[in-house]
Structure formats: structure tokens, C-alpha cells
Amino acid sequence: MSTRDEQASPEAPALISAHGLKKSYGRTEALRGASLDLHVGEILAVTGTSGSGKSTLLHCLSGIVRPDEGTVVYGGEDLGGLSEDRLSRLRRDDFGVVFQFGQLIPELTALDNVALPLLLAGIRRDLAGRRAGEWLERFGVRGQADLRPGEMSGGQSQRVALARALVTGPKAVFADEPTGALDALAGEQVMTALVHTARETATAVLLITHDAQIAAYADREVVLRDGAVLSGSAEPAGQEAARREI
């Protein structure tokens, strides 16, 4: 059994540090000076109401979009100063991203979806296939290896998406409402698989959610409101997390 007290704490070194992030889309201010640290091996939940800037924050931290102001530092580098090619390689090798609807490639099988990041990194097809199969096994969907996304349930597809995000051995996984399209049971299965694997591999996870039960899986929770992290909100998520077996 593993409990939150035995897991990553905010005292661990920062893996990614964001300071003073501002981002606007037209006249809409999505972020208004948001700052936070994601620590090595930590599972951090970012919560808030719809429109509070949660997804924009994830996109800035993962290098998908550039903030208008502020810095995101990873490995001593400010992501805002990196080339698009360098950012693409970071997202391929160091970061994994999981979206609410998985965003698997519909024409590919589950095995090929998971193997794709390895193939893009230059791994031989046979080795990529074996490694992808191992990750499908880890997430309990090895039996769906030859199925395409449209032939799987939502929970199965999302576990395949998690396998794809983790197959390259990333330092951080960014999960944007990963259970938002799932029923309660499938959501619990997905979160249990994600947390268990993150613990085993010491992977940091930034979890975007509006669901308190999902946030309870995290070591720590921050609340985003009107594009800013609320002062004093960086407290551990609910007591339930300390009792949860993973």
C-alpha cells in the first residue's frame, strides 16, 4: 500500500516553474498572472470553474501555446525562448499529454497509436510494437491492441491514450479532464491506472479537473479563478487521498 504521505511532497525540487503567466485570446484574458511549480514526481490537481483558465494554463506549461507574458522554466530553459522544433521534441520525449476525449488517431489500431511516439522518435518498428504492447498490458487493454478507437469503449480508449502518453518515459504528464467524458466507474479505473503508473515511474502529473473526487487522487491541489492561482490554495487535496490505495 502507498499513501500520499509516502509520496512526492512540495519539498521535492521543481520540475517545471511558471511565473506571472498571462494569455489572452482577443479581448478575453484566459490567464492573469498565474504562477505555480510542478515538483518532481508530484501529482498536482488544478481545479476551478469552467472558463477559469485551467486548460490554457496546461497548454502554456506543456509548450503547446506560448504565454503573452511570464515564464515557464523546464530543465533550466524558458519554454518561451525555444524554437518550435525544440518544443515539438520536448512534447514528444519529455512531456506526455492526455485530453478529455483521448484524441487517438481513428485510422490506427490501439497498438499503433501507442507505438506512434516511439516511431516518430526513430525507434525500430518491431521494438516500438513490443514496447507499445507492454504498455497496453500495463493499462489492462492488451486485448484491444488490434481495435481502432471507434471499436473501444470510452474507458478503454482513454487507457490507450494514457499508454501513449507514457510510452516514451516522460518526465511529466499533462492530463486535461482525462475522465470528463467517462462514467464514474470508468473514470475511477483510468485514474487508478494513471496514479499507479505515475508512482511506479516517478512521473509528475498535472491534472486538470473540476471534479473534487478526481482531485482527491492528487498530492496537492491549487485552485484557479479568473486566470490566477488563488493565494493560499496550494494545499493537499482531500483527506480521501491519504486513505486511497493505488
What pLDDT is stored for residue 246 in this prediction? 36
Encode pLDDT of 51-104 as tens digits. 889 999 999 999 999 999 999 999 999 999 999 999 999 988 999 999 877 689
What Å distances lie between residue 168 and 66, 67, 91, CA to CA?
A: 24, 26, 10
pLDDT at 6 over 70: no
Residue 136 counted as domain residue: no
Which cell numbers hold the place of 54? Answer: 485551467
- What domain range is 55 assigned to? 1-94+214-234
Q: What span, in angstroms and rounded, lies between the C-alpha atoms of 27 and 238?
A: 36
Query: Is 13 a domain residue?
Result: yes
| Residue 133: inside a domain | no
Residue 244 is assigned to a structural domain of this protein: no
Residue 127 inside a domain? The answer is no
In a domain, 190, yes or no: no
The enclosing domain of 86 has a CATH number of 3.40.50.300
Report how many domains make up the chain.
1
pLDDT for res 102 = 64
Instruction: Kindly report, residue by residue over 147-158, the tens digit of the pLDDT.
Output: 999 999 988 999
Q: Do 181 and 101 contact (CB within 8 A), yes or no? A: yes
Asked if residue 99 belongs to a domain, the reply is no
Answer positive or negative: Cα dihedral of 202, 208, 209, 210.
positive
**How far is it, in rounded angstroms, from Cα 169 to Cα 181?**
26
The pLDDT value recorded for residue 117 is 93
State how beta strands 28-39 and 14-25 pair. antiparallel
**Three cell numbers written together for 212:** 473534487
Average pLDDT taken over every residue of the chain: 87
> Hey, is 214 helix, strand or coil?
helix
**Inter-residue contact 90 to 66 (CB < 8 Å):** no
Question: In this predicted model, what pLDDT tens digit does every residue of 111-153 receive, in sequence order?
Answer: 999 999 999 999 999 999 999 999 999 888 999 999 999 999 9
Bigger pLDDT: 221 or 182?
A: 221
Tell me if 125 sits within 8 A of 111, measured CB to CB: no
- The residue-averaged pLDDT of 10-31 equals 90
Spatial CA neighbour of 214 closest among 192, 242, 246, 243:
192
Please indicate, yes or no, if residue 172 is contained in any of the structural domains: no
